[in-house]
Structure 1
Amino acid sequence: MLGFGTIAKKVFGTPNDRRVKSVRPIVARINALEPEFETLTDTEIVAKTAELRNRAINGESLDDLLPEAFANCREGARRALGLRAFDVQLIGGIFLHQGNIAEMKTGEGKTLVATFPAYLNALTGKGVHIVTVNDYLAKRDADWMGKVFTALGMTTGVVYPRQPDDEKRAAYRADITYATNNELGFDYLRDNMRGSLEDMAQRGHNFAIVDEVDSILIDEARTPLIISGPSQDRSDLYVAIDKVIPEIREEHYTLDEKQRNATFTDEGNEFLEEKLHETGLLPEDQSLYDPESTTVVHHVTNALRAHKLFLKDQQYIVRGGEVVLVDEFTGRMMPGRRLSDGLHQAIEAKEGCKIQPENVTLASVTFQNYFRLYDKLGGMTGTAATEAEEFMSIYGLGVVEIPTNRPIARIDDDDQVYRTAKEKYEAIVETIREAHGKGQPVLVGTTSIEKSEMLSQMLTKATLPHNVLNARQHEQEAQIVADAGKLGAVTIATNMAGRGTDIKLGGNVDFKIMEALEADPEAHPDEVRVRIEAEHATDEQKVKDAGGLYVLATERHESRRIDNQLRGRSGRQGDPGRSSFFLSLEDDLMRIFGSERLDKMLTKLGLQEGEAIVHPWVNKSLERAQAKVEGRNFDIRKQLLKFDDVMNDQRKVIFGQRHEIMGAEDIAEVARDMRHQVIEDMVDTHMPPKTYADQWDSEGLQQAARETLGVDVPVLEWADEDGVDQEVVRERLETAADEYMASKTAQFGPEQMRNIEKQVLLQTIDQKWRDHLLTLEHLRSVVGFRGYAQRDPLNEYKTEAFQLFEIMLDGLRADVTQKLSRIQPLTPEQQEQLIRQLQAQQQAQQKQADAAGAAASEAAAGTPVSGEGAPLVEGFDENDPSTWGNPGRNDPCPCGSGKKFKHCHGRLA
């Protein structure tokens, strides 16, 4: 009997069906325009782009332009690539333009789909970013789809690590820019450390289309992008704090050896505060509980951990005056590995070793907050529906399932559950043997590299030929995955392998041609292509007759999405296929699910060794368990985002201020406002409101004015005058300071003074922001303990982070005012030298940020940091093959990319 929900869906359709149906009239209008656009010449297609661009700039909405733009783009793609987009691809493009995620099954042509909304949104002239998961796919897609955009009269750029600055700026100024998520994020951070607007690469965040959107916005969302560099030398602070620790008694602290943590008791805090006041490490009027004390508390806690939890010759040894960590599992030394967050420095202070500077964060951003900068965001993936709630709540993205061009012919088996892992793997080997025997290609999904290698050993023992693909995304992966559809092929891969590469039944034609030419370099490429394509058609039919690609998963993943991703490798474009999940009660997810009860039940049912239980109920139970785990992971990401949002709001303010300062011709007014605010704060401090003259600290104010403003004014005499109040003193100080700075401007020259003000302001903002980031890191590491006092750590973090931000801004104003007041009029040569010095400091800082960012982006992308990309052959010109030398197909490419020649400049067109 059908439930009410099922009946309603049959009558009214699902919400997703209704959304898809709502855009079909737009598709009909695009199709109706097709005959008209087919008659256009190539020149007229480019002219159509110019016409649409003018209409967009003159205020016509993109929604109104959509049918014509999509029709023009479809015709451009047909001519450039020989690909005519299907209706379902147009539907995907429409939903991307509307700011949604288009869930499209593997093999449905997502790369082409992205060209439609990208072309339409690029008409505004604000640029469109297409985001991929690795550099190979960014370059491949830019090269491939760039032909379409060129045919339409638009420019295409690609961004990659260690790209020359002028080339990178040109890539971002193109109409459509292809880049990885890592490179986009790092460029955003690097841009906001630059000294002038001309040096910035990105030109705003208009519209981004994120390919493999679930991988980038969910799987990688928790990992922040960080540009770090060595901090200032704080050796004295570590040594001074280290001297306090031996005086601490047992009742002053508690240890948690399991979590390797140490905390001070109330009695310990009182003792510590007293000691820190004595040593001058904590100002007399400051308590340990004040927000300004966060950094000192952090260092003292680290020193306590270094003394009480890290023991010499157990967790570390001292060798050659260096603290070297010891691996707790193997007992081996780990030279080069250092503890983070100042803990290693605390141990160095304890042992009397030379204290190495710690790395500090120069800038950081999470993908969650970077991608929320865009005015509009769209995404594509084969699997997003299970995470629809997270996409909507964090990014405001709806998920729309796009129908397939042809019905899916894949057979999805119910899960097979065995009692032990041994039985499961034996059944897997036997199933692979059967499929291989009839020529059916098998893709085996595993959850870890370790398990993939273990299964590989079992297949080797069973004399079954196979390929093993580890989860590193390089072109080697693309080749192995592309060949996974060959007749009788067996490929063991991690669950996420092969994103961005289709598995074609019978193998990949281009790779087969490349192999044939390697074997016989004298052969004519055209003749080889004709022969290989004929052989491929036969192989493809044989694979289809054998049942298509068989996806065999060895375990359920925590996330249904990743299981669906693996399953979706089979059955592309209506091809036959099959998918099965082999599980055991010893699998991680099954243990969470409660395998003990199931084990007892299976024993009662008389399940024999080697037998499996197969039932739809088991699938449903597992899906419920997976949904619970997904929900828990979502909650963790949501909580992390709430903390990061606090810093993100402050980041936007600081980066916005920098941008305004760099763009301003004259910032004298900003400098004056800062000076006046500093004066107001000074007067309020030394002459508090609603107090009498005999309670004022006139001498202190006179001293502060001399130090900070550079003016020597008779505040003591003013205070003795009748009728003088705080307001009068403030006005007199402002007048004196303004006159002093005006005299400086006259001596320096207005233009030079404006330049100096800008450089001083930018440098001070950068330094203060770095120090603030470090303080926030320290606050974040200790604020969790507030939960023990029944206080919400997030609210505590918000409150104190705001207070620290205000303190930072006060310090910024005071520092800028003081630095500008101390600049002395110089000779023209000295003025030039001073400005050059300020600019050199800014450039050095920028170079450090660029180098740190490039190393970080390469590390994030999994590429070696050493390669500078210098050509191996002198005089190499990529447009002139005669300058390439005579490399073999498997030799390194002479361009210096580090790739094999056959995968780089020697690749077949």
Structure 2
Amino acid sequence: MFARLARAILGTSNDRALKAYRARVPAINALEPQMAALSDEALQAKTPEFRERLAKGETPDSLLPEAFAVCREASKRVLGMRHFDVQLIGGMVLHEGRIAEMKTGEGKTLVATLPAYLNGLTGKGVHLVTVNDYLATRDAGEMGRLYNWLGLTVDTIVYGKTDQQRRDAYAADITYGTNNEFGFDYLRDNMKYSLGEMVQRPFAYAIVDEVDSILIDEARTPLIISGPTDDTSDLYNRVNAVVQGIAQVPENFEKDEKNKTVSLTDAGNEAVSAALTEVGLLEEGDLYDFHNVTLVHHVNQSLRAHTLFSRDVDYIVSRDGKIVIIDEFTGRMMEGRRYSDGLHQALEAKEGVEVQPENQTLASITFQNYFRLYPKLSGMTGTAATEADEFAEIYKLEVVEIPTNLPVSRADSDDEVYRTAREKYEAVANLVQEARERGQPCLVGTTSIEKSELISALLKNKGVPHQVLNARYHESEAGIISQAGRPGAVTIATNMAGRGTDIKLGGNAEMLARATFPGEPDGPEFEARLAEIRREVEESAAKVKASGGLFVIGTERHESRRIDNQLRGRSGRQGDPGASRFFLSLEDDLMRIFGSDRMGGMLEKLGLKEGEAIIHPWINRALEKAQKKVEARNFDTRKNLLKYDDVMNDQRKEVYAQRKSFMHAADVAETVAEMRREVIEDMVAAAIPENAYAEQWDTEGLQSRVLEILGLGLPIVEWGREEGMDESGIRERLLEAADTSYAARAANIGPDRMREVEKSLLLMVFDKVWKDHLLSLDHLRQGIGLRAYGQRDPLNEYKSEAFNLFNAMLGEMREETTRWLMQVNLTPDAPLPSPEPVSFTDLRHPAPESGDPLMGYDEAASEYGAAAPVAARASTLGAEAVDPEDPSTWDRTPRNAPCPCGSGRKYKHCHGRG
């Protein structure tokens, strides 16, 4: 009550923020006559003037009124568009590092030019982040004319560019690109071996378009760059042959669609065990014995593939026989993105296509942690208010709802609820047919390819011409969606694919002209054709407005209100008339999984007949409550996952910062010397514990370790027998012997050459142990939840274990670096150690080049497996220590290198045991 009273008197926080922004608009408008009076040259000269003032100490905030006024005037002259007052407010919101919620059709692309120009003046770089390459290229091309006219440089980061092209793009004042490309460039940069190879410069400011899609929907899955591991495709196919029969019997498994989990029942376990034994996969013991853990993993993933994932809903099989994931929010194909943990391989086996090798993580980051690297971050979208709490808690971003330039006149009808999906779809088809007959365009929103094609079939039966826009036809996405406002047009869109393209009543004149003009779209003939089509579009727009505007028809409610609002918001842009209505049935996923069981009984009591629907505002409110609960649960899930990733993120930032410091350093001689001292001290401390008697010393073990790590055959056992010898004495002798040997090696190839070798080897070893550490963290994360059964907090346990693993990784790095620098036979003309090319992939986008900086082996050596035999580097460095043909030399193999016998296991787990 008091809260409502305070809001009535003082207004909401959003009202107060808007009031402050509106107060600044008159100052910008007052400059308009002055800017309009300037010649083109004088207006363009404002950019160097602003830059000079910034160099003298002024701030971007102090320049805001003038810079916005200059940008608006330039936009009028170059683009023929003048920023509305509400767009100026949107620009101020973005400049201050907040999220601007602006309805569809309010010109968010133009709004972004204001803060982009102002912040681009600093020369530090502005990143405009979009959801796909098409939008990045389109926006950079259209808005780039404005920036270039004002003297700023513009470029794009899209798939397929070389490192040099990317480096040039990041050097521009304003860079457009997709979230995936920006994120993967960051990961790849932190896998490079010199500062000159890196493409990005320090982050300054990012504007994220469709911020809800990128920072929430896509943030559920991390960006992962991976390298191949052992090929187990045969095992996936054999397990699939067993599980596909088991999955046909509902009694064999229990499925929880709400939490998207599935598990075998007792009957299912018995059936799987019997079938696996019959085909020779389960040779001894019980399925859940420790030695069968890999088999259990394959069975579980295959079961998930058969019971939780549906073709044409969650994924499609592409023309070239690849499993391509479908984004559940946009309906777009996620080219190159793969499910992790073997699930993608299980789907490939299920569909009978070639099973690709599994991958091991080489580098990863979540979008949450990537975008938090920017000192200033802002975003814009048509739907952000429903997720305001998440934006505030995760990203420290405040959402400001900006009013529309003209009042919204769209008529939003209450939902219609039917008993069965068949009745619902029939009602949708009938409504579409009625709307088309009166010339009203319809946009029909579906949640999957399967359902869009079902509605398409119904409309074909009724003889209704229509366009289908889903992942199968994404190439023509912009063209289809831009003409969805033509009189009588019917467009079926999967979860608002085509987002980012405006639907104008009557159609898009320029796109129509380009599509129908036979030659190049320029010159007087094209202009004449464009003028003609514009007249036609104006006439069509008048007809559409008379018929009621764009009619948005939702065929299902989504788990998130935001997705429904995105669809509904496509109608009623810039004060246009429009309408929206959602159709539901008790068989819909949301109603079936999250709805009340009493709903069906209630509809039956109401005496609902075949083809009848129940329509009431109470239904809308009940659904909204269900959606709020699902949103809150999904937020908790994302927040919990982020807590675990934050642990890795702290380590990632430390590792990447340390790595960059190595690359920045003129040399790392002092670092490797300190590592050598620490390794020797650790070996001595392990063999000669503090306050231990001489007979308790393990001098034989120490002597063996010194030979293994330092390559020095020293008489440590004899030293231990000397009168008066203690732990410090042995340590000093070891340090002196190691320093003398190392100095001799450095003198042999020359100090300068040694410094280069030290840096290269240090970075290579650093990357190798970091890769192994990521794998250890993956395994830890998968099993840490079981600690809850012991009344221990899994997150605290994960933090503790991850810290211990990190310390162990640093210890292994010191040991490996010391081992290689002390043992590799170096010659003055030997080539520097450098990563050899090998293909690697990322789990969201294919890598643009073949080359894996972390894994030191070429394709021909892939039988060594994912352990990436650093031992194979020895030949590059001129070493002859280990001969794969001579077992007598194998005891000189590093403990973590693959065994020379070819087993694929590490040496310490194979011939180096004992």
Category of TM-score, reference length = shorter chain: 0.7 to 0.9
CA separation in 2, counterparts of 1:852 and 1:571? 38
CA change 1:594–1:129 in 2 (3 A) is closer
Q: Return the letter of the residue paired with 2:427.
A: A
CA separation in 2, counterparts of 1:459 and 1:687? 83
Q: Which residue of 2 aligns with 1:275?
A: none
Q: Which residue of 1 aligns with 2:481?
A: 481
Q: Return the letter of the residue paired with 2:622.
A: S
CA separation in 1, counterparts of 2:197 and 2:699? 47
Q: Which residue of 2 aligns with 1:72?
A: 70
Q: Which residue of 2 aligns with 1:216?
A: 214
CA change 1:377–1:696 in 2 (3 A) is same
Greater alpha carbon shift after TM alignment, 754-763 vs 35-44: 35-44
Q: Which residue of 2 aligns with 1:674?
A: 675
Q: Return the letter of the residue paired with 1:582.
A: F
The offset of 1:504, in angstroms, is 0.3
The question of whether the paired residues in 1 share the 8 Å contact of 2:226 and 2:842 is answered with no
CA separation in 1, counterparts of 2:53 and 2:109? 27
The question of whether the paired residues in 1 share the 8 Å contact of 2:223 and 2:842 is answered with no
Greater alpha carbon shift after TM alignment, 576-585 vs 336-345: 336-345
1:108 aligns to what SS in structure 2? coil
CA separation in 2, counterparts of 1:27 and 1:343? 53
> CA-to-partner distance for each residue in 1:390-438, whole Å, 9 max, x for gaps?
1111111111111111111111112222333333223222222221121
The residue correspondences of 1:289-368 to structure 2 (distance < 5 A) are: 300-303=291-294, 305=296, 358-368=358-368
The offset of 1:32, in angstroms, is 2.0
> CA-to-partner distance for each residue in 1:81-138, whole Å, 9 max, x for gaps?
1111111111111111111111110011111111111222223222111111110111
Identical-residue share of aligned pairs (%): 58
The residue correspondences of 1:815-830 to structure 2 (distance < 5 A) are: 815-826=816-827
Q: Which residue of 1 aligns with 2:275?
A: none
Q: Return the letter of the residue paired with 1:760.
A: L
1:485 aligns to what SS in structure 2? coil
CA separation in 2, counterparts of 1:228 and 1:142? 31
Q: Which residue of 2 aligns with 1:897?
A: none
The residue correspondences of 1:734-753 to structure 2 (distance < 5 A) are: 734-753=735-754
Q: Which residue of 2 aligns with 1:329?
A: none
2:72 aligns to what SS in structure 1? helix
Q: Which residue of 1 aligns with 2:165?
A: 167
CA change 1:443–1:794 in 2 (3 A) is same
Q: Which residue of 2 aligns with 1:565?
A: 566
CA separation in 1, counterparts of 2:601 and 2:180? 49
Q: Return the letter of the residue paired with 2:495.
A: N
CA change 1:146–1:594 in 2 (3 A) is closer
CA change 1:760–1:7 in 2 (3 A) is same
The question of whether the paired residues in 1 share the 8 Å contact of 2:684 and 2:727 is answered with yes
The offset of 1:795, in angstroms, is 2.3
1:444 aligns to what SS in structure 2? strand
The correspondence for 2:134, drawn from 113, 133, 136, is 136
Please say if 1:380 is aligned against 2:387.
no
Q: Which residue of 2 aligns with 1:532?
A: 533
CA separation in 2, counterparts of 1:749 and 1:36? 68
The offset of 1:603, in angstroms, is 3.8
CA separation in 1, counterparts of 2:199 and 2:52? 26
CA separation in 1, counterparts of 2:56 and 2:292? 61
Q: Which residue of 1 aligns with 2:776?
A: 775
CA change 1:705–1:212 in 2 (3 A) is same
The question of whether the paired residues in 1 share the 8 Å contact of 2:224 and 2:842 is answered with no
Q: Which residue of 2 aligns with 1:416?
A: 416
The correspondence for 1:855, drawn from 829, 846, 857, is 846
The question of whether the paired residues in 1 share the 8 Å contact of 2:160 and 2:848 is answered with no
The question of whether the paired residues in 2 share the 8 Å contact of 1:548 and 1:578 is answered with yes
Q: Which residue of 2 aligns with 1:903?
A: none
Q: Which residue of 1 aligns with 2:351?
A: none
CA separation in 1, counterparts of 2:299 and 2:465? 55
Report how many residues are paired. Answer: 768
The question of whether the paired residues in 2 share the 8 Å contact of 1:441 and 1:487 is answered with yes
The question of whether the paired residues in 1 share the 8 Å contact of 2:469 and 2:480 is answered with yes
Q: Return the letter of the residue paired with 1:400.
A: V
CA separation in 2, counterparts of 1:262 and 1:843? 48
The offset of 1:232, in angstroms, is 7.1
CA separation in 1, counterparts of 2:837 and 2:526? 51
State TM-score, norm by structure 2.
Answer: 0.78
The offset of 1:224, in angstroms, is 1.8
CA separation in 1, counterparts of 2:737 and 2:747? 15
CA separation in 2, counterparts of 1:304 and 1:206? 48
CA separation in 2, counterparts of 1:403 and 1:345? 48
Q: Which residue of 2 aligns with 1:791?
A: 792
Q: Which residue of 2 aligns with 1:661?
A: 662
Q: Which residue of 2 aligns with 1:84?
A: 82
> CA-to-partner distance for each residue in 1:551-594, whole Å, 9 max, x for gaps?
11111111100010000000111111111112223322223454
Q: Return the letter of the residue paired with 1:205.
A: F
The offset of 1:298, in angstroms, is 12
Q: Return the letter of the residue paired with 1:832.
A: D
The offset of 1:772, in angstroms, is 1.6
CA separation in 1, counterparts of 2:123 and 2:704? 56
Please say if 1:705 is aligned against 2:706.
yes
2:484 aligns to what SS in structure 1? helix
Q: Which residue of 2 aligns with 1:116?
A: 114
CA separation in 2, counterparts of 1:64 and 1:568? 36
1:493 aligns to what SS in structure 2? strand
Q: Which residue of 1 aligns with 2:246?
A: none
The offset of 1:24, in angstroms, is 1.8
The question of whether the paired residues in 2 share the 8 Å contact of 1:42 and 1:151 is answered with no
Q: Return the letter of the residue paired with 2:402.
A: I
Q: Which residue of 1 aligns with 2:179?
A: 181
> CA-to-partner distance for each residue in 1:482-522, whole Å, 9 max, x for gaps?
11000111111112222100000001101221243249999
The question of whether the paired residues in 2 share the 8 Å contact of 1:478 and 1:498 is answered with yes
The offset of 1:825, in angstroms, is 4.7
The question of whether the paired residues in 1 share the 8 Å contact of 2:101 and 2:385 is answered with yes
Q: Which residue of 1 aligns with 2:588?
A: 587
The question of whether the paired residues in 2 share the 8 Å contact of 1:456 and 1:492 is answered with yes
The question of whether the paired residues in 2 share the 8 Å contact of 1:103 and 1:383 is answered with yes
Please say if 1:105 is aligned against 2:96.
no
The offset of 1:234, in angstroms, is 11
The question of whether the paired residues in 2 share the 8 Å contact of 1:118 and 1:128 is answered with yes
The residue correspondences of 1:463-478 to structure 2 (distance < 5 A) are: 463-471=463-471, 474-478=474-478
The offset of 1:696, in angstroms, is 2.0
CA change 1:656–1:140 in 2 (3 A) is same
Greater alpha carbon shift after TM alignment, 613-622 vs 549-558: 613-622
> CA-to-partner distance for each residue in 1:515-553, whole Å, 9 max, x for gaps?
432499999222212221111111111111111111111
CA separation in 1, counterparts of 2:227 and 2:831? 25
5+ residue gaps in structure 1? 239-254, 264-296, 316-333, 347-354, 859-909
CA separation in 2, counterparts of 1:690 and 1:24? 75
Q: Return the letter of the residue paired with 1:467.
A: Q
Q: Which residue of 2 aligns with 1:158?
A: 156
CA separation in 2, counterparts of 1:448 and 1:678? 58
Q: Which residue of 1 aligns with 2:47?
A: 49
Q: Return the letter of the residue paired with 1:844.
A: P
The question of whether the paired residues in 1 share the 8 Å contact of 2:840 and 2:847 is answered with no
The question of whether the paired residues in 1 share the 8 Å contact of 2:205 and 2:374 is answered with yes
CA separation in 2, counterparts of 1:573 and 1:417? 31
CA change 1:715–1:788 in 2 (3 A) is same
CA change 1:155–1:523 in 2 (3 A) is closer
Q: Which residue of 2 aligns with 1:754?
A: 755
The offset of 1:19, in angstroms, is 0.8
CA change 1:111–1:257 in 2 (3 A) is closer
The question of whether the paired residues in 2 share the 8 Å contact of 1:360 and 1:774 is answered with yes
Q: Return the letter of the residue paired with 2:830.
A: Q
CA separation in 2, counterparts of 1:434 and 1:91? 41
The residue correspondences of 1:415-814 to structure 2 (distance < 5 A) are: 415-471=415-471, 474-518=474-518, 524-594=525-595, 596-716=597-717, 718-720=719-721, 724-814=725-815
The correspondence for 1:201, drawn from 196, 199, 202, is 199
CA separation in 2, counterparts of 1:825 and 1:465? 74
The question of whether the paired residues in 1 share the 8 Å contact of 2:485 and 2:550 is answered with yes
> CA-to-partner distance for each residue in 1:858-902, whole Å, 9 max, x for gaps?
9xxxxxxxxxxxxxxxxxxxxxxxxxxxxxxxxxxxxxxxxxxxx
The correspondence for 1:833, drawn from 830, 833, 839, is 830
The offset of 1:336, in angstroms, is 9.0
CA change 1:233–1:451 in 2 (3 A) is closer
CA separation in 2, counterparts of 1:854 and 1:222? 16
1:407 aligns to what SS in structure 2? coil
